[in-house]
């Protein structure tokens, strides 16, 4: 594993307008982000930071599938994510709370 943190900037590395939970919702879904970018980088790197800046309309379904789906679908634990994953949106601080809540809900559902 690489020890340097890997930075994912969603609007640059994935899509300028991420939307929806599943690919059927559009080409920039939370599932697509998780499967093609986020989960692989979390497996490859010790730490990953997701920058949400540049887009202000992330839906709860996108965030739940992208981040909560790491636990439900990808085999990560809450502890894995607390150790390896950070995220930020410089303008909308509540985004951090929504992501933490979706991860926590997925973690509780696994127990």
Find where tokens 């559902």 sit.
Answer: 109
Instruction: Name the pLDDT band for 111 (thresholds 50, 70, 90).
Output: confident
Taking only the tens place, the pLDDT of each residue in 58-86 is 999 999 999 999 999 999 999 999 999 99
Per-chain mean pLDDT for the chain: 95
- What is Dmax (Cα atoms) for the chain? 35
What's the rounded Cα separation, in Å, for the pair 98 and 5? 23
Q: Which residues pair with 9 in a beta bridge?
A: 51
């Amino acid at each position: 594993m690489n020890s340097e943190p890997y930075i994912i900037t969603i609007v640059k590395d994935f899509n300028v307008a991420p939307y929806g939970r599943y690919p059927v919702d559009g080409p920039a879904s939370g599932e697509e982000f998780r499967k093609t970018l986020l989960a692989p980088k979390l497996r490859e790197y010790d730490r990953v930071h997701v920058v949400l800046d540049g887009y202000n309309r992330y839906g709860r379904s996108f965030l739940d599938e992208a981040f909560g789906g790491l636990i439900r679908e990808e085999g990560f634990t809450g502890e894995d994510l607390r150790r390896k994953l950070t995220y930020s949106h410089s303008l909308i601080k509540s985004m951090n709370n929504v992501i933490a809540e979706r991860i926590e809900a997925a973690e509780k559902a696994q127990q």
